[in-house]
Chain A
Amino acid sequence: MSAALSAHWATFATIFFSMILVNNYVLVQFLGICPFLGVSKKADSSVGMGLAVIFVMVLATAVTFPIQIFLLDQYDMMYMQTIIFILVIAVLVQLIEIILKRYIPALYRSLGVYLPLITTNCCVLGVTILAVQDYSADVATFGFGIAFAEALICAAGAGVGFLVAMLLFCGVRQRVECANPPESFKGLPITLVAAAITSMSFMGFGGLVENIISAIS
């Protein structure tokens, strides 16, 4: 198993870093725009939201990926995917909330407020569906262990990418607040234009990760 894992490290690294930079969920794939615009006003709330999203994304993928492979694919029930995934996420978020409140109250106080918002956050449902789409074929070629690891790394990368985008944009936004745009652009419109420029900077990462990893290995 460990030999198989070490043979796949380059793939894992490529997945992780390209999820952060090249396929950034917020700025490139437009998932989770609402929290991105809503919560990115202050640095501490963006960090809190980002950490909560990473946490829920990894857990949700860890639960939904086996469900897809061993239940839905096995019994030919692909069409139930959307319903089952959203229910699993909703239950999971509630469960995490109850467990955190009971056993780790310190963490609950910092992340708790963001958890209910995550149920209806499209990036969580998006990452579970995309992970299944991209990596369920690997079950046949590399076995379930490797495919599952790939899906989890993809989820973690997507979450970290969300956090990075939130933090970067939070900095941009504090500058935008001080600026004096035309009357009609005040508030949300100028924020969206600023997001466009931030997104443009992420376009520069295209093809970067694959080249670096292949150069190293």
Chain B
Amino acid sequence: MAEKQSKWKVLTNGIIRENPVLRLVLGCCSVLAVTTTVQGAMGMGFAMTFVLIASNVAISAMRKIIPAKVHLPCYIVIIATFVTVVQMVLNAYMPDLYKTLGVYLALIVVNCIILGRAEMFACKNTVVDSALDGVGMGIGYILTMLLMSSIREIIGNGSWMGFQIIPDSIDRMTVMNQDPGGFFIFGVLMALCVWIEKKTNHPIKRGMGGQDFAAATTADADNGKGGAEE
């Protein structure tokens, strides 16, 4: 399938057609947790995009020498290395952002988007295509984060990027900035996405919380185990 795709298609794929958050439903934890402010969400988006591009490039460059049986542990180590790089850089130059993101920065390691792209794309395609795929997926992720954090910050806190938009005389819906708001806005955005799909006649079937990917991983792990026991 990869040979037929033009570079432009690979790049734009992640933005709308295979938007990782709203259409593939991968990596929802970070989307729900750090979208309370636009700044935090953007920091997370760029950290995520960097790790996505770097690990996609590294994995596709090494796709011929990584043994199939231990490919998942290899991917995890590669991803963890880049996450550590991001952690060290942010800790040194942007300590405030580092504190805001907290444990979710380290949790990029287990974010299904990155492992999913490694498994679905980077291990079968060339370095350039994988890098473009990483860029596209990253942009898709950042745009979704921007949309969701804007809604949550404007409604919940009355500000955008720290600037006050809604006057003090209007009460804030603080719940949007708290945990239930995350689930609620995500659900509404996804419903909107489904509605647009219906209007444009491109409906897709969504897996429940990356379930299909999880099932694929289970099958892989079982194969690897069967091999190890022989």
Contacts and interface: CB of A to CB of B under 8 A. Distances in A.
Interface stretch (A6-14, A53-61, A150-158, A193-201): A193-201
30 contacts: A30-B29, A33-B32, A34-B112, A34-B209, A35-B214, A38-B208, A38-B210, A79-B88, A80-B84, A82-B80, A83-B80, A86-B76, A87-B80, A94-B225, A116-B222, A120-B214, A122-B29, A125-B106, A125-B107, A125-B109, A183-B195, A183-B198, A184-B191, A184-B195, A187-B206, A190-B191, A195-B183, A196-B180, A196-B182, A203-B180
Interface residues of A, number: 54
Contact residues of A: prevailing secondary structure: helix
B28 interface: yes
Band of interface residues on B: 35 or more
Given A31-B29, A80-B84, 18 more contacts: A28-B179, A30-B179, A34-B28, A38-B210, A41-B208, A81-B106, A86-B110, A87-B73, A87-B80, A97-B225, A117-B217, A121-B110, A122-B29, A125-B109, A188-B208, A192-B186, A192-B190, A196-B182
Contact of B179 (A133, A182, A190, A199): A199
Contact of B209 (A30, A37, A97, A116): A37
Contacts of A41: 208
B221 interface: yes
Interface of A: 27-38, 41, 79-83, 86-87, 90, 94, 97, 113, 116-117, 119-122, 125-126, 129-130, 133, 182-193, 195-197, 199-200, 202-203
Nearest to B27: A34
B120 interface: no
A123 to B, nearest CB: 9
Contacts of B72: 90, 119
